[in-house]
Amino acid sequence: MKTKTILITGATDGLGRGIAEELARQGHTLLLHGRNRPRLDAVAATLDTTVRTYLADLASLGEVRYLTEQLLRTEDRIDVLIANAGIGGGPHQESVDGHELHFAVNYLSHFLLVTGLLDRLRASAPARIVFVSSLSQEPIDFDDVMLTHRYGSVRAYSQSKLAQIALGLRLAGQLDPAEVTVTSLHPATLMPTKMVVEGGAMPLDSLERGVAATTRLAADPELEGVTGVFYDREHPSSPHPWATDPEVQARLWRLSKQLTQ
C-alpha cells in the first residue's frame, strides 16, 4: 500500500484516536488535529509513524481559518482529509461566532476547512475527503437553522450530520474524481466513545468496527476513484433524500459561504 499524508480532525479521543492508531500502523504520515495541546501531544507520542500536530478549537471560525493557513504553509501535500471531529448532546449553546454549537463544530468548521484546502488536495491527486457522519439524519429548517425555536440535542446533531452528507455529495458532483473523491459514512452504531458513554447510551458496535470502516474509505486502494457515496459502515447506503436534492445542496452551500465569510 502506498503511504499517504492524512489529516484527521478530532484525533485525540474515541474514533479519531482509533483511526490515527490504525493509520499509523499502516505507516502513513499523520496530521493530527485537536483542541487540547497536552492530549494532542500525548497521542502523537504513542504513534510509531511521522506525526505533525495542529491545534484549533473548531467552535471558532477564526481558529479554523488559522488552522487552514498553518496547513497550507506547512504541508506540501495532503492526500486524505478525514472530517471526524464532532460533538453531541447538551443544552442549546452558541459557538464563538454565535452559531448553534453542533452546526458550528460538526458542519461549518469542516465546510471552511475543506473548501480552504481544496487546491492543496487537488495538487495531491488522487486525494480523498471522508466525512464521518451518521445514520441519525434530519433536514435543516432553513427558517430556523440555529434551532432558536425548536431546539433538541438529537435534532441539532442529526441536522449537522445530514448537512455534512449534502456537502459531500455536492463536492463529489463538482470535483474530478481523478483529482479528489468525496465519501461520507456512518462508521458504526453507538461505539463506546466518550460522547456515547457520557450521553448515557448503551454501546452497540465496537470502536474497531468504526475504525475499520473509516480507514477503508481513507486508504483502501480498491476504492480509488469512488466518489459521491454514503456508506452505512462498509456498505453503500441511501442517505435522507434531503441531502440528495441539488436545490437543497445549492442553498446549503450559499448559506455556508455566507456564515463563514
Residue 21: closest CA among 222, 212, 224, 220: 212
Q: How far apart are CA 236 and CA 185, in angstroms?
A: 9
Predicted local distance difference test score (pLDDT) of residue 201: 63
Q: What is the mean pLDDT of residues 14-32?
A: 97
Q: Range of 46's domain? A: 5-260
Across 144-169, average pLDDT: 97
At residue 199, does pLDDT exceed 70? no
94: which DSSP letter? B
Q: Which residues are catalytic?
A: 157
Q: What is the pLDDT of residue 2?
A: 85
Domain count for the chain: 1
29-35 LR contacts (CB < 8 Å, sep 24+): 29/3, 29/4, 29/5, 30/5, 30/6, 31/5, 31/6, 31/7, 31/71, 31/75, 31/78, 32/8, 33/7, 33/8, 33/9, 33/67, 33/85, 34/10
**CATH number of the domain residue 181 falls in:** 3.40.50.720
Residue 194 pLDDT greater than 70, yes or no: no
Q: What percent of the chain has pLDDT over 70?
A: 93
pLDDT digits 0-9 by tens, 85-138 = 999 989 999 999 999 999 999 999 999 999 999 999 999 999 999 999 999 999
- For residue 72, how many other CB atoms are within 10 A of its CB? 14
> From the CB of residue 241, how many other CB atoms can be counted at a distance below 10 Å?
9
Residue 1 has pLDDT above 80, yes or no: no
